Amino acid sequence: MSVLVSIGFAGIVYFVLCLQLANGFPPFYRSFGSPPAVAAKRRRKAIWIVISGAIPCLGLLGAGPVAGAFVVLGLTMAGLGWQLRGAVSETSSPLWWSYHPPLLRYPMALFDLWTIGWSAGAAGLVLS
């Protein structure tokens, strides 16, 4: 049961970290294009993702505290975080200080290391 809860918790943490990075904290990426237009596009996508996916999932969890529902919530939130990652990759590029050869080849590697690393750490804390 604790493994199921840790999977759900990791998905929720992944979504929150993706939401933070999509809003520019920590500042790993800079937007290209018109800053107000890019910010508005990213904000609209984030709001749509939260309304269409996160709120119904939290309602499902409120219906009954079942470990299976928590896993579904976590996996859905992780999928929503993946959609936010797509929004960041469409409108951003790495900052100048992160121009290392691996990051130039895989520009979203820093995003993935940050979000997946912290999510795995949170799941490990739940398991311990």
What's the gap between Cα 71 and its chain centre?
A: 16
> How many C-beta neighbours within 10 Å does residue 98 have?
15
- High-pLDDT (> 70) share of the chain, %: 84
Q: Which two tokens stand for residue 124?
A: 């490990």
Give dist(CA 125, CA 123) in Å, integer.
Answer: 5
Could you tell me the two tokens for 65?
């505290």
pLDDT at 59 over 80: no
Q: Answer yes or no: is pLDDT of 47 > 90.
A: no
What is the distance between the alpha carbons of residues 62 and 121, in angstroms, rounded to a whole number? 26
pLDDT in the model for residue 28:
77
